[in-house]
Every structure is written in structure tokens, then in C-alpha cells.
Structure 1
């Protein structure tokens, strides 16, 4: 029977597929961020220094770079439903290796293995959503998938509260992450069974091509594309490394408890869960995409210096929690969460207005490849700065050079966003400043 004679999947089947694929991503994000609340324990109990903590993040990024270079041949060869199960299983193995690690080299191996599994898992889920959702629903489906995924990051930050007894050592929280990722693998297996049952009943469409990194003809991309790539690199090279060190930083430099530091750090992904889809809808209505990227970059510029030098302010209760947070830190991280929502909501869709459709896969893969390079370097740089300036609870000022490094990256991002705004306001613009990406008739 030809698939053309079959009906499209019903809403119940589509949303079931979305939920199961997104739960696999929830586990993926939880496993990646599980190291953040145990940085101080790794330093105290395992004897790691900040440079070595940075290397754990870099190991993941190097693996991700290797995956991007090899392309999505596994997904193309064996199909997305098998790939989701296989890569989720790799993530479970990686989480277990990390949790059981007796030494630093094994920790590095676990994080490297996680990079090999987590990045292609993200690509496989993207292909899955493209099969089940079409037209206007696709953007909404991607938004929900991202929200559920980032909820995994927030749950990691909350774990010092709901799993406080585990934090007497660094192994047990990582075993919890292994359990969460195992549940994600279970969701991937259920998705496999769901798609297998749906194939004979519904027209799932053709599987989308996996994004590949095409290094040929890169000169044909416009300057606006490269400004967005540059902004992407410095933005994610600032946000994600900061999150890696944030809980430890709030503990050591500002004297917060692990529970309070985790709650404070969780404001970034929580804000993104709520605000990213709303910013996306807003920008689609009003345009001004390059202007909003510049506004977000400008808003981020002073935040690292605010948390470093301004008085912490009075303690205020966190809503729906018994935790109290210093007002200055609370407001700064809340604004940072808004920036973390605004820039990605505008930046990634903007590429589709600039690059022709047949080259979008290569454009997004190249953008992600460059992002991973920056993301690999910055944790090492910040960790080295923290070590060189003897950062710690006895010397909170030792964290300041690292915060200035983040500020310099933010300033660079503002330069690229401003250059993009200039380019898009000129005659060679691609319509980023207009609703729907189309210039009004003259």
C-alpha cells in the first residue's frame, strides 16, 4: 500500500510521539548538567582543580565536534527510530561510567562518551519531529520539545533540594542522573514501538535529511550569516560554561548553600522554558530580529560584573520555595534568563531567512560546529583563570578575572549583533527586520 493512501497521524499519535521523544531529551539534558551541582565535591573529594573541571566540559565538546564531522550516516543508514534508542543507550552508558569513575581519566572518558551519544540523539529527535509534524505545527512542536529538554537542566539544578541526602558525595547525584537517563532510554524504546505500530496505519512522510557539515562553498554564505554564526559562538561560549561553574561560583564567592545556588542557577533554563516560545511568537509578529539580538547582547553585557562587584542586597524569598536569595543576584540571573530566552528564539530561525532552503542543513551544521569549538575552549580558559588567581571561598576576588572574560565575550557578541543590524538595515538585507521576513512593497 502506498503511503499516499494512508491518513496523516491523528493528534493523539503525534503528541504521544512528541512526549516520548522529548522525555529522551529530558534525560539527555539532565545527564549533561549533572556535574554542575557537584563541582565543589569533585574538588574536595576527588582533588580536581578548576582547570580539570573545565576539561570535563571540553571532552564533551570534542566528541560533539567529531560527531558533526562524520555527519548523520548512522541515522540515514538505520533510521531515526533505531538511532534514538542506540544513542540514548550510549548516553546511559556514559552517565554510568561518569558516576562510577574512580579517577579523573575515567571521568573524562565518561564525558567524551556522553558527547558521542548526546549530540546525535538531538539530531535524531529533530528528524523524528520533522516526520510527525508538518507546517505550522512543526515550530510549535520544536518549541515544546526544547521546553521539556530544558526542564531537564532545571531539574538538575533543583536536585540539591529534592535529592539533598545524595549530596554527601559526588557519585550518588551522578547515579541519580544515570537513572534519569535510563528512564529517557525507556521513553526512546517506547517511541520505537509507537513508530513501528504507526507505520502501517499512517503516512509519516519522508524522513528529513540529516544535517551534514558541508565545508565546500562556504564563501557563498552572506556576511549576515557569518555575523549570526559569530554571535552564536560567543553567546553559547558564555552561557553554557557559566552554567557549568555557576553553582560552585555562587557557593564559593557568595556563600550560598548548594540548595540556594542550585535554585538560583535554575532560573536560566526555567525562564527559557516559559519565555522562548513567547519571544518567538512576538518577533514573528513585529520583525526587528537583528535589533532584538542587539538588545539581548546589550542587556547581557553588564550582568557578570553586576554579580561580581555590586552588593548582594537583602535576602528575598524565592516564589514557591523556602529558599531565600540575595536580591542583586536574583535580579541579575533573572535578566540573564530573559536574554537566554530572547537571543536563541530569534537567532536560530533567522538563519532560515538568510540561507536558501537547499543549504539550510549545511548552514545549521556549520553554525553548530563553530559553536562547539568556542564552547570547548572557554571552560578551559575560565578554569585556568580561576586556578591562576587562586579563586575560592578564602579569595572570592579570584573569580573576577573569569567574570571579566565572560564580559569580554559579551562585548564581542554585541559588536557582531550591531554589525548584523547595520547589514540588515541596508539594501542587501534579507528581511530580518520585517514580520514574516518580507519587505513591504515600496
Structure 2
């Protein structure tokens, strides 16, 4: 089997267990909250703890892979993720669950980015869109099965088993990685420890403050102090990165137009869509009265739509190009997201399923296009750091989506004077995150009409994608 098919299928095992876990726990939030004695909205801490760990440790994933070898790091990362899964299954309180999710995030921070890096370094750019599609098709089985499996487990057994079902697939992934993934290494510069401390501290404090707003677990003054300190540390990191010869995160990569638009515009889109796995199961169960299995059977259709799209994404990009897809498809996906808030308990299931199916199709097309566009004008020497910065931005955006979605839900309850399970509150929350997602169109409009033409298969034979102008090229 050629590399653009074999390697994505192996790396997809890591994506499978990660996405299976995340979507399954989302479906079971009300039951987990009841068992742990907390409000369902408070469990956003468990979701954002995982994403925070990803954002903190992803920046060093490329350096670690280059230093110790991609295969070794990939296998170890899966092992750490499985240890975190066992910790989540054994948790008896919110704090322990959050800690277990954080450990999972540490594993995920090395697992998925390193796997993607192997793909980027092993596959030609002309085959990259197709390889990314092969990567995500089996990986989408995780989020497609997650809501149904999580709902069935929670309805008929106990939610703790959710964290145990990924153990066999994780073991299979480690074995396949040992057999087939190349031990890719590159010469590494000294690790930017000061940059890591500034970025990790800033992200941790700022994201904790945002996640804990409205939970009642931390005094407001302490949250404000954490937010200010986190913002200050991140500002210091930006200053540090522009002065350091080999920073942990190369901010000058944002001078490459296609990369900048993919990262910044993609972050806005992900802030909106990142709230959906948190808000949708809560609305279906708390507001509409569905049990976890019924909720999972409704929500999994979104991933089914995404899976259908992956098989046609290369053809769509070849025919239309990146700019029209990212602009108009992003707007359409954001409008459908706003429309989720119009669902009511008496909305026909066929209508909900149809809207979710279309939404999953459009959202997945947007993600595939964004992921491919990011590396259109990045050379191999900078691929590792480009992958780390892009992955960190993605996880921060998803975490912000959960945080802002939960905050909008709580704010709507305070404004309307009704419980957080009232349908009108979910209408406000989905409208808020949908409009945030729609804001990505401003970035997509800045793309050239021929952006990433070679990657979309639209360039003439033998013609290379134009290099950035000298004034735009990052300094080495």
C-alpha cells in the first residue's frame, strides 16, 4: 500500500481513540454531573482541561519528535493517553476527572501532532489533500461511533466504561506504529525553555480563568488575577519570540499569507464549531428530555455527513479552489450552526437529522481545506514548527468554543431568569457561537484566487506554487 494510504490509516488509530473519547464523554455530561454532584455546565472544565493540555504541550511536540524519533514518541504518547483514560475511569470527583483528562491531553499533545508530522514529511504535496482525507475517514469513525457508544454505555451500564473502550484500539495503534512508522529525526536546536515557560504559564492561567467563569468554584477576584497574569505572560512570550533566534513557536510563520489565513481564520471558525459537542447533547437531554442513547443517535449524524465529505473533498477543491470553498462554505456552515438554536422538543427528528447531516458535511469540508491550506507554502525545514503552531491554535480555539458556549448559556439564563435547560437559552448560545464562526469569512476574503493551486490540483503540470515575496518570507 502506498505511503499516502498506509501511514494515514495507522495514524488514524490515534485520532480514533481521541475523538471516540471526546464525543462519548460529551453525550454523557448530564449523567457524569449527577454522579459527581456538580452542575452539567461545570463539566466544561473537564473538556477544556484536555484542550488546555494539548495547547500547552503541542508546541514542544515537534522538538521532541525530532530529538527522540517520531515512532518512539508516537507510541509513548498513545501509552500516556491510555493511562489518563484509566485515571478518568477511576475518578470519584470533578477534580480527579479534570486531572485524568489533563493527562490524556498530555498524551494527545504528542500523539496526533507527531502523527500528522510523519504524514507531512512522508507524502508529496501533490498527494497531501488525498492523504489527509485518508487520515480523517477512519478517524471519523471515532466521533461517529462516540455519541452512540457513549449513549448506550451510559444508558445501560455506567459512564466510567466510556474511558475503557479505547484501550484495545490504543494497543493496536502502538503495535502498528512499531511495525510501520519510520523513525524520522532531524537535527534539533536547544529547546526554548523560557519560551515554553512563558507560553505554558500564560495559556494555562488565561484558559483556566475563562473556563471557570460562572462555575462558582473560584472567587471572581482570583479569576481576574489569573486572566491578567495569563495575558501578560502571553504578551511577554510574543516579545520573546520575535527576539529569540530559535523560539518555541515561530510567530514569523504568520508572515506567510496562506498559513496566516488558515491559522487565524480557522481559529475563528473553530471557536464557533468547538462549542457544538458541548451544547448540543446538553440541549437534547436537559431541554428536550432525550436519554443519552437517543441523544447520541441524533448527534452522530453530523459526523456521518463529515465522513461522506472526506471522499469528495479533493474533487471539490480541484473544481472550485480554496478561496471560494473557504469563504462561502464557511458562511453556510456558520448559518447552519446558528440554526441549531431553533430546534425545539417538537421539532421532527428527520429535520434535525437533515440539518446535522448537512452541517457535518460543510464543517468537515472547511476543516479539510483549512488543514491543507496551512502547509501550501511551508517548506520541509519549517514544517515541524508550522505544524505545532497550527495545532496549538486549533486546540485553543476549540477550548474557547466550549468556554464561550458555556458562558453564553449561563448568561442567557441570567438574562431570561429561566433555568439553563430552557430552550431559549440554547438559542442564544448557538447564535453567539455561530456569529463568531461567521467572522472567519473576513480572513478568507484575503486569499488570492489561485491560493494553494498546486495542492488543489489546479496548477499547470510542472508549475510550482509561487514562493512568498521577499518582504513576506519568514526569516530563518
TM-score over 0.5 for the alignment? Answer: yes
How big is the shift at 1:343? Answer: 0.7
2:400 to 371, 377, 387: 377
Shift of 1:303: 2.0
Which TM-score applies when normalising by structure 2? 0.74
1:106 to 96, 106, 112: 96
- SS at 2:38's partner residue? coil
Q: Which of 321, 333, 336 is 1:303 aligned to?
A: 336
Q: List per-residue Cα deviations over 1:307-348 (Å, max 9, x = no partner).
A: 323667763xxxxxxxxx241x22221221121222122222
Are the equivalent residues in 2 in contact too, given 1:238–1:378 (CA < 8 A)? Answer: yes
Unaligned runs of 5+ residues in structure 2 are 192-246, 464-476
TM-score for the superposition, normalised by structure 1 = 0.79
1:167 maps onto 2:155 in alignment? yes
Q: 1:14 to 1:331 in 2, by over 3 A?
A: closer
**1:66-113, CA deviations, whole angstroms, 9 ceiling, x for partnerless residues?**
212323343233322222221111111111111211111111101111
Is 1:244 the counterpart of 2:278? The answer is yes
**In 2, distance between residues paired with 1:250 and 1:232?**
27
Q: Take 1:103 and 1:405, find their aligned partners in 2: how far apart are those partners?
A: 31
1:119 to 2:109 alignment: yes
User: After superposition, what is the alpha-carbon deviation per residue over 1:40-85, rounded to whole angstroms, capped at 9, x for unaligned?
Assistant: 1123232322442222122112211221232334323332222222
Distance 1:175 1:216, change over 3 A: same
1:254-275 C-alpha deviation (Å, 9 max, x unpaired): 3434223212211222222221
Distance in 2 of aligned mates of 1:16 and 1:313: 46
Select between 138-147 and 112-121 the one with higher mean Cα deviation. 138-147
Whether contact under 8 Å (1:127, 1:207) holds in the other structure is: no
1:289 correspondence with 2:322 = yes
Gaps of 5+ in 1: 1-10, 197-203, 316-324
- Going from structure 1 to structure 2, the CA distance change for 1:229 and 1:12 (only over 3 Å counts) comes to closer
Partners of 2:6 and 2:374 in 1: CA distance: 30
Q: CA deviation at 1:392?
A: 5.1
Q: 1:401 aligns with which of 428, 435, 444?
A: 428
Cα distance in structure 2, aligned partners of 1:306 and 1:356: 40
- Structure 1 distance, partners of 2:407, 2:347, is 32
3-state DSSP of counterpart to 2:290? coil
Residues 279 and 342 in structure 1, CA contact (< 8 A), matched pair in contact too: yes
Shift in Å, 1:137? 5.8
Q: How many residue pairs were aligned?
A: 402
Are positions 1:191 and 2:176 aligned together? yes
Q: Distance in 1 between matches of 2:5 and 2:256?
A: 37
Distance 1:14 1:279 in 2: 16
Answer with 262-271 or 432-441: which moved more: 432-441
Aligned partners of 1:53, 1:401: CA distance in 2, in Å? 20
Please give the secondary structure, in 2, of the residue aligned with 1:179: coil
CA contact (8 A) 1:252 1:392 kept: no
Q: 1:168-317 to 2 correspondence within 5 Å?
A: 172-180=158-166, 182-195=167-180, 215-216=249-250, 218=252, 221-283=255-317, 285-309=318-342, 315=348
**TM-superposed deviation, 1:25:** 3.0
What is the CA deviation profile of residues 182-217 of structure 1, one whole-angstrom value per residue up to 9, with x for unaligned ones?
112321332255249xxxxxxx6955789x975446
1:290/1:400 CA distance change after superposition, 3 Å = same
Instruction: Indicate if the aligned counterparts of 1:20 and 1:190 stay in contact, CA closer than 8 A.
Output: no
